[in-house]
Structure 1
Amino acid sequence: MSQDKPDFRSVAQLFQVPILPDEELEGLAEVDRSKVGENAEESEALGRAFLNEGDYDKAIEHFRRACTQREPGDIHSQVELAGAMDAADRAPEAFRQYLKAIRAQQGAVEPKVGMSEILKRYGRTGDSIKLLIEAAEADPSNAYLRIKVAEALRDNGQPKAALEWATQAVAIAPEDSFNHAWMGDHLLSMGRNAEALESLRAALELSPGDDYLYLRAAVGFWRENRPKEAIKALVTAIELDPERGMTHAALVRFYNETDQVMEAQVAEEVMPTLDRYDEDLLHKFLVECGLEPA
């Protein structure tokens, strides 16, 4: 999937550190970090400002103040406090805050999701999944939570149950290409290639510029003995991201496998040098296609 140079948002997402959407970040520059919040909203704004600067102690201080400024039973600031604690590697404290929030509001979704993440990291997979399911059932229109449940079930060796939850996500938000892409990828992992291609087609109709989706489609086509379409998918992926060496190498291999020697030579001439990361991706790709890595 082609993307710009990684920024703080990419790193935060990788390590599951909470960050704000762009429209909220724009207002943070106006926050006077030397002041003390006069109400919960101001305290939370200060907490978010320090959180996004990586000053977790200051962020936690302001979120604690916000909690005292909220009405009894209002868990909004408490959830933010727990998130800041988790980001600061203070998971036990975060867990306790999430637990307090759940006790205050049994039907609240956010603290259950946060607690689920902590339980997962500590190896309590069953409890983590149970909480995620409770959160999803409490928010029946939330497709994202259903994908979260599906991922947890997949990682726990329950592919059929994962598929059921992913199907719900697609039904709730059919306009979101990610849901179709997730379903397609999961179906590929289950060997249900024709169905996977249908899901990937739906994803590509919504996100035609995503080179990664063409790579996934190439796997499905190759498995279905449709080499012409598999090659076309790789060519399109290269057009979208010509710098991804792994895709070029995969195309060369597909040409050679189908005895298109001249095409393979031409493709190899323009192929970028593969680094270790490209080689690892290529190895995985070829194995998925049922081909012996070189």
Structure 2
Amino acid sequence: MLDREFRHFKTGRERSDAGGQSDNELTAQERAVLGDKLCDEGRVEEAIIHYRKAVQMEGGNAWFRERLGDAYAYSEESAKAVAEYRKAIMLSPRRAEPHFSLGEVYRRHGKLEAAVKCYRKAVYYNPLNTFYRYKLGDALAQVGLIDEAILNLEIAVQISGTDGFYHFWLADLYCLAGRLSDAIIEMQQATIFCPQDAYYNLRLGMLYMRAGFPQDAIAAYETAVRLKPSDPAYHAVLADAYSAVGRVEDAAKHYSMAAKMDSYDAVNLDRFRRQASAEGK
């Protein structure tokens, strides 16, 4: 699918942005390129017009079909997107991208098993694409195939070993599988390669707490709080870790900070109540 986000736009009449060239003189390739430009600008419905004309001119071009499917997918015309992706696959069955894009549409509509089949084909035809493996692994985990999910993320980590994103998701799968030590190792790698990611540090702290290492959790949580000081939940979990090692004053300080930031946060309400009770004594 298109690697872009499209803004909301007002539908207008068809217009040509081909540098003064007459609309009728555009080749199919030029129309497809113009469609890409319009999509980049958020003018998806106008892009669809040009992609459709490119397809009318060269109906056997799988790439044009795929781009039209992408535009339909982003305009939430899923049935039309599926039809174009299937046509693209029929024309060029060994191209990975339309399989992947078809899987994305299926997943969006909750058809996880159909999505898994498409993701598997995408990975088969492009085994070095780590993002395809991540999406396959995530879908596999959701349908209960955790071992196959882990295998795909392990391969993704082997391919892109310095990308913290894949270490993070592999850690998440290890945690689901009950492999806590492996999860900690991968989450550590995620924080090494993405040291400024507050959430990765938060999750590392949670794993340490689960494993019974509150001192290590404190270090991870303190980093998370330093990176994202305005989040009350981060202060609350740091306070929990301080409480676990008997650092009562430090815990009270961060419970209080969390309460002042968002005293109506239901997730932390019990912590805030404990803090209020302690202050009232």
1:228 aligned to which of 205, 208, 215? 215
What's the secondary structure of 1:161's corresponding residue? Answer: helix
Instruction: Give 3-state SS (helix, strand or coil) of 2:261's partner.
Output: coil
TM normalised by structure 2 equals: 0.82
Maintained 8 Å contact 1:18/1:87:
no
Higher Cα Rg: structure 1 or 2? 2
Residues 214 and 244, structure 2, Cα contact 8 Å, conserved in 1: no
Say whether the 8 Å CA contact 2:153–2:166 is kept in structure 1. Answer: yes
Q: Identity rate of aligned residues, in percent?
A: 26
Q: Does residue 164 of the first structure (1) align with residue 151 of the second (2)? A: yes
Which of 116, 120, 128 is the aligned partner of 1:133?
120
The count of aligned residue pairs is 257
Residue 167 of structure 1 aligns with an amino acid whose one-letter code is E
Give me the whole-angstrom Cα distance separating, in 1, the residues matched to 2:243 and 2:236: 11
Q: Aligned partners of 2:167 and 2:190: how far apart in 1?
A: 5
- 1:58 paired residue among 43, 46, 51: 46
Q: Which has the higher contact order (CA 8 A, sep 6+)?
A: 1
Does the aligned pair in 1 maintain the 2:215–2:241 contact within 8 Å? no
TM-score by length of 1: 0.78
In the other structure, the counterpart of 2:255 is: 268
Which among 97, 111, 128 is matched to residue 98 of structure 2? 111
Q: Distance in 1 between the 2:139 and 2:30 partners?
A: 36
- Whether the 8 Å contact between 1:101 and 1:111 is mirrored in structure 2 is yes
Which secondary structure state, in structure 2, belongs to the residue aligned with residue 106 of structure 1?
coil
Structure 2 gap segments, 5+ residues each: 7-16, 270-281
2:27 aligned to which of 28, 35, 39: 39
Contact 1:185 1:216 (C-alpha < 8 Å) held by counterparts: no
Map of 1:204 onto structure 2: 191
Deviation, structure 1 residue 269: 4.2
Where does structure 1 lack aligned partners over 5 or more consecutive residues? 1-15, 22-30, 284-294
**Cα distance, 1:20 vs. partner?**
6.9
Q: Distance in 2 between matches of 1:267 and 1:20?
A: 38
Counterpart selection for 1:245 from 212, 228, 232: 232
Any conservation in 2 of the 1:82–1:93 contact (CA below 8 Å)? yes
The structural deviation recorded for 1:53 is 4.5
RMSD: 2.7
